[in-house]
Structure 1
Amino acid sequence: MKRITNTQDLAAFCEEAARHAYVTVDTEFLRERTYYSKLCLIQLAMPGDTNDTAVLVDPLSDGLSLEPLYKLFRDTSVVKVFHAARQDLEIFFVDAQVFPEPLFDTQVAAMVCGFGEQVGYETLVRRIAKAPLDKTSRFTDWSRRPLTEAQMTYALADVTHLRMIYEHLAQKLEETGRSRWVQEEIEVLTSPETYIVEPREAWKRVKTRTNAPKFLAIVRELAAFREIYAQERNIPRNRVFKDDALVELASNKPKSEEDLGRTRLLLREARRGEIAAGILKAVAAGVDCAPKEMPEPDRSREKLQVNPALADLLRVLLKAKTESAGVAAKLIAPASDLDGIAAGLRDVPALSGWRREVFGADALRLCEGKIALAAKGSDVRIVPLD
């Protein structure tokens, strides 16, 4: 198997790949000890049924520039094929602010082709490529050199089988007219907003038991400090302090390092030095926050009057429609969205785009009393009433 360790060889491969309709791509990375993923290996393969057109690119090699790969990513004449691309795309976006265009994600395509929700690569290899897949090297340390033969064999399989999977799914999408469905999901994956973490918005990911504005103001300041500290030092945010410690700090409102020393959930190294100073400053900023600047939780659903009977009917309709379409129900609408529709919400994802075609349009008709549901054996039928 061919390994690429210099820019010249990478450029030669990418120039050859640009002559083909598509190229398959995967990465191996580490993130346990860092805020941003550490890219350790890139796998690429051109169309074909052998390993001769596949390579392993070593981004840890001295002097290797990934610019030839990014040039290929920008080449809109070549489809870039990934499986479960989100984390791979984040790596390339953080490194070079580039997204592969056009992009094809086989996990997304498989979901709309009836393979279930968040189907794994191994499942697709088994069901489409009819091949076994050795996953024993999946959790190895990809930053260590030299790579073992087992690691390289495993890594290469992530792009060689992907060729057949892509061709099969692309054909099925063409036959069923669902290519646009996949494209709608891809637009979310290739949006910068998906990967940019704004420190002042980080508080929204912290689960709390109270929505008191003053408390949330402190949570916001603490979460922002933690995010900035972790980003600047490239360490996991939980290495600064975990969510449960953040909530405890917001509740206790420490004013000194002595107070921090009595905090039960705070890591020992966070009770002094830069982290301690940052915590105390954040808490003080939250306490002093003016009422008009305090964050407000999303209360849009708190006063919704859910019609339980209608919600149950929507669940029946969703099950019937997704079974007929061969799409996972959770991909269309979670239970909370069904309750929201039954309570009158109309801005949920299930009522727009391709989801509207599968389920949303009939869901609205059901809510408006324009259709009824009838059972015949194990089948549920839609009965027009207008």
Structure 2
Amino acid sequence: MITLTETAALAEFCARAGEAPYVTVDTEFLRERTYYSKLCLIQLAFPGDGETDAVLVDPLVGGLDLAPLYELFRDPGVVKVFHAARQDLEIFAIEGDTIPAPLFDTQIAAMVCGFGEQVGYETLVRKIAKGQVDKSSRFTDWSRRPLSDAQKRYALADVTHLRVVYEHLAAELERSGRTPWVEEELDVLRDPATYRVEPREAWRRLKTRNPSPRSLAIARELAAFREEYAQVNNVPRTRVFKDDALLELVGSKPKDLDELGKSRLLLREARKGDIAEGILKAVAVGQAAPREDLPAPPKQKARDQINGALADLLRVLLKAKAEKAGVAQKLIASASDLDDIASGTRDGAWAHGWRGEVFGTDALRLCEGKIALACKGQDVRIVPLG
């Protein structure tokens, strides 16, 4: 098991990988005590069965420059293969200002190829590579050195088996003509905006109890302050204050330290110093926000706006279409999408591209009364009307 700790050795490996059609990539990181992920290990492999075709890269070694790796990531002739790539890509986008391309995500590909929703790496290794992954090192501290042999074996298995999984899925997509389907799904992962958290938009993740514009303005300012503080100090946002404490502050609207100190949910550290000052300022700014700057309350679908019978039919249609296509239902449309359609929405991601071909077109025809559904045995059939 080779661990690269010098820039020259990494450059030599990346040069050889640059001659291969693809390279598999994975990372090990920690994020429990920081806002940004702490990169602890990088695993790389390209086609072959030799010991030098799969390596570990130790980014915690002083003096190691990852520039050769980022150059490989930008090489248009080498496909960069990940499984469930979102968090790995976030690390490289933030630390190296680079999003690997061309890109392939085996989790997305597996969902398109009929392996179910959110299929795990171990499942694909077992079903496709006929191998096993030792999970005993999964939750170890990857920042501690030296790494054990068990940790190294576990880490390397994440990219060596991935070669077999990738080749199988890529061939299946080519055979079925669904490679463009996966490319559509990868657009979000390729977009740099996916990995940027805008503090002024952070409030949208909150489950607010009071949707009044003024309360939302206070929530917006508190969430923005929390996000900015967490980013600057590289601490988890929950270490600043948690969502329940934020919502309590929206309701209590403290004007000074004395009122702030009466909070039941605020951490002790947040009742003084920079955090306390930031909270009081955010509340004041939210209360003073001009009317034209107040956030609009999110639109809520009333239950009586949803055609329940139509929603049930859409679920039956989605299940039948997903099974026939061999694609995970969740990848086509969510339960919320179905409720939207049943309440009158006639556009969404489900209506375009491959989703439209598989489900969206017939979903709209069902809404318009142009088709009906019929069952024969276990089969659900579409019956044209009119």
Structure 1 residue aligned with 2:149: 149
Secondary structure of 1:136's aligned partner: helix
> What does the per-residue CA deviation read over 1:216-261, in whole Å, with 9 as the maximum and x for residues that have no partner?
1100000000000000010000000000000000100011111111
Q: Give me the whole-angstrom Cα distance separating, in 1, the residues matched to 2:21 and 2:123.
A: 25
Aligned-pair distance for 1:291?
Answer: 1.2
Q: Which residue of 2 aligns with 1:78?
A: 78
Give CA deviations for 1:263-290 in whole Å, capped at 9, x if unaligned: 0000001000010000000011111111
Alignment check: 8 A CA contact 1:113 1:327 kept? yes
Q: After superposition, what is the alpha-carbon deviation per residue over 1:115-136, rounded to whole angstroms, capped at 9, x for unaligned?
A: 0111000110111111111011
- 1:227 maps to 2:227: yes
What corresponds to 1:347 in structure 2? 347
Aligned to 1:333: 333
Q: Which residue of 2 aligns with 1:97?
A: 97
The one-letter amino acid paired with 2:125 is: V
The percent of aligned pairs where both chains have the same amino acid is 69
Task: Give, as a single letter, the amino acid of the residue that structure 2 aligns with 1:104.
Answer: F
Alignment partner of 1:262 is 2:262: yes
Q: CA deviation at 1:327?
A: 1.4
- Other structure's SS at 1:42 match: strand
Distance in 2 between residues matched to 1:75 and 1:31, nearest whole Å? 29
How far did residue 190 of structure 1 move?
Answer: 1.1
1:10 alignment partner in structure 2 = 10
State the secondary structure of the residue aligned to 2:146.
coil
Can you give the 5+ residue segments of structure 2 that lack an aligned partner in the other structure? none
Partner AA of 2:273 in structure 1 = G
Q: Match of 2:58? A: 58
Alpha-carbon displacement from aligned partner over 1:122-180 (angstroms, at most 9, x marks no partner) = 11011111111101101111111111111001000000000000000000000111101
Q: How far does the alpha carbon of each residue in 1:296-351 deviate from its partner, in whole angstroms, 9 at most, with x for none?
A: 12216459832222111111111111111111212211222112112221232211
Contact 2:24 2:159 in 1 (8 A): yes
Q: Secondary structure at the match of 2:135?
A: coil
- CA pair 155-47 structure 1, distance change in 2 beyond 3 A: same
CA distance in 2: counterparts of 1:313 and 1:302, whole angstroms: 19
Secondary structure of 1:114's counterpart equals: coil
SS of the residue corresponding to residue 382 of structure 1 reads strand
Q: Write out aligned runs for 1:102-251 (5 A).
A: 102-251=102-251
Map 1:33-48 onto structure 2 (within 5 A): 33-48=33-48
The code of the aligned residue for 1:234 comes to N
1:28 corresponds to 2:1: no
For 1:232 and 1:18, the matched residues in 2 are separated by 36
Structure 1 residue identity aligned to 2:271: R
Cα-to-partner distance string for 1:8-29 (whole Å, 9 max, x where unaligned): 1111000000101000000000
Q: How many residues align?
A: 386
TM-score, scaled to structure 1: 0.98
Structure 1: which 5+ residue stretches go unaligned?
none
Partner residue in 1 for 2:382: 382
Q: Distance in 2 between matches of 1:56 and 1:21?
A: 20
Query: Are the aligned partners of 2:218 and 2:287 in contact in 1 as well (CA < 8 Å)?
Result: yes
Letter in 1 for 2:130: K
- Counterpart-to-counterpart distance in 2, 1:332 and 1:50: 40
Larger deviation: 67-76 or 289-298?
Answer: 289-298
- 1:356-375 aligned at under 5 Å gives the runs 356-375=356-375
Deviation at 1:50, TM superposition (A): 4.7
For the pair 1:286 / 2:282, whether they are aligned, the reply is no
Asked if the contact 1:48–1:163 (Cα under 8 Å) also holds between the matched residues in 2, the reply is no
Contact kept, 8 Å, 2:55 with 2:156, in 1: the verdict is yes
Q: Secondary structure at the match of 1:375?
A: strand
Contact 2:99 2:192 in 1 (8 A): no
The root-mean-square deviation of aligned C-alpha atoms, in Å, is 1.2
SS of the aligned residue for 2:147 comes to coil
SS at match of 1:284: helix
Note if 1:315 corresponds to 2:309: no
Say whether the 8 Å CA contact 2:10–2:68 is kept in structure 1: yes
Q: Please give the per-residue CA displacement for 1:41-94, whole angstroms capped at 9, x wherever unaligned.
A: 000001023543100000111111111011001101000000000000000000
Contact kept, 8 Å, 1:114 with 1:327, in 2: the verdict is yes
SS at match of 1:322: helix
The structure 1 segments of at least 4 consecutive aligned residues displaced by more than 4 Å after TM superposition are none
Q: How does 1:297-312 map to 2 (within 5 A)?
A: 297-299=297-299, 301-302=301-302, 305-312=305-312
Question: Would the aligned equivalents of 1:304 and 1:340 in 2 still touch at CA under 8 Å?
Answer: no
The residue aligned with 2:252 is: 252
Distance 2:46 2:316 in 1: 45
1:369 is displaced (CA, Å) by 1.6
Deviation, structure 1 residue 209 = 1.4
Cα distance per residue 1:89-108 (max 9 Å; x no partner): 00000012211110000000
